[in-house]
Structure 1
Amino acid sequence: MILLLLVLSFSCSKKNELENIFISKQNEYWCYKDDCQGLGVYFRFNKKGDYDKYNRDIFDGFELFNNDGDLISGPRSWSIKNDSTFVWNGEDYKIESCNTKKIILSYYHYKEKNKKCRVTFNKVIDKKP
């Protein structure tokens, strides 16, 4: 019984540790790059399990970009599952590596069988007040 409690305790603490890495502080953003799709967008993952999308302007800094004209973003959710899976809008991504500066995820391409794609998040600090 004690061993089971220790295992559950360790599992919960690892999940919390991973969640805390993803959660953005006030001036932090994650620069997103997908080697199968490209895109140069920034994200902030929030403590309550949702996220926001941002563009970055050279002069004006970060600008909220959840909705793109007539394309309205639906619910934006994220979570950690089984200490090794990042669930993003209902899609599973394997956590390959994760630290406070860089996160690497992987998934299999939805059209090309056996094509593994990598998503990289690099931490960016906004130096503007």
Structure 2
Amino acid sequence: MNKLIIILLTILSISCTKRDKIESVFITNNIEYWECIDYCYNSRTYFQFKDNGTIDAYLLYTKEGFRLFNNDGDLINDPGTWSIKNDSTFIWNKEVYKIEKLAKNEILLSYYHYEIKDKKCYIRLSKLIKTPKGPKRLDELNKIKK
């Protein structure tokens, strides 16, 4: 009986550790943003994923930089939510996405189009850093430093 409890606790701790590691890739600090490109809808948006499981949406302006878009004056939205399920599933505002690729600078998600049967769609998240000269991709900044 004791061996069974130890085995179950070990499995649970390993699973939680992996999920925590995956979650840490998504979490942004106050100068980091995810550029989100949805290839099915040809759209580009910007987000910050917080460690408390909420999401803030942003608009990117040429001169002003990032501006919080949860509230645009006419439409007021609460911050969205996100979580990781089963180490390979990303839940974003109750929508389910499969994690196809996970790296600290880039994440690739997939989902099936809700109108077109069996059409697989992709979303690419690329990490941006706010700099005095505007937003830069994290991988661009790493190349400059080398």
The answer to whether the superposition gives a TM-score over 0.5 is yes
Structure with bigger helix share is 2
Q: Aligned partners of 2:132, 2:85: CA distance in 1, in Å?
A: 34
Aligned-residue CA RMSD in angstroms?
Answer: 1.5
Secondary structure, counterpart of 2:118 in structure 1: coil
- The number of aligned residues is 129
Residue of structure 2 in register with 1:89 after alignment: 93
- Structure exhibiting the larger radius of gyration computed from Cα positions: 2
- Tell me the CA shift for residue 74 of structure 1: 4.0
**Could you report, residue by residue, the CA deviation over 1:43-96 in whole angstroms, capped at 9, with x for unpaired residues?**
000011101011111221111111334232245111011111100111110011
Residue of structure 1 in register with 2:104 after alignment: 100
Q: Any gaps of 5 or more consecutive residues in structure 1?
A: none
Secondary structure, counterpart of 2:13 in structure 1: helix
Out of 117, 127, 131, which is 1:123 matched to?
Answer: 127
Out of 9, 15, 20, which is 1:16 matched to?
Answer: 20
Q: Any gaps of 5 or more consecutive residues in structure 2?
A: 134-146
Normalising to structure 2: TM-score of the pair?
0.82
Larger RCO: Structure 1 or Structure 2 (Cα < 8 Å, ≥ 6 residues apart)? 1
Residue of structure 2 in register with 1:33 after alignment: 37
Out of 50, 53, 57, which is 1:49 matched to?
Answer: 53
- Tell me the CA shift for residue 128 of structure 1: 3.0
Normalising to structure 1: TM-score of the pair?
0.93
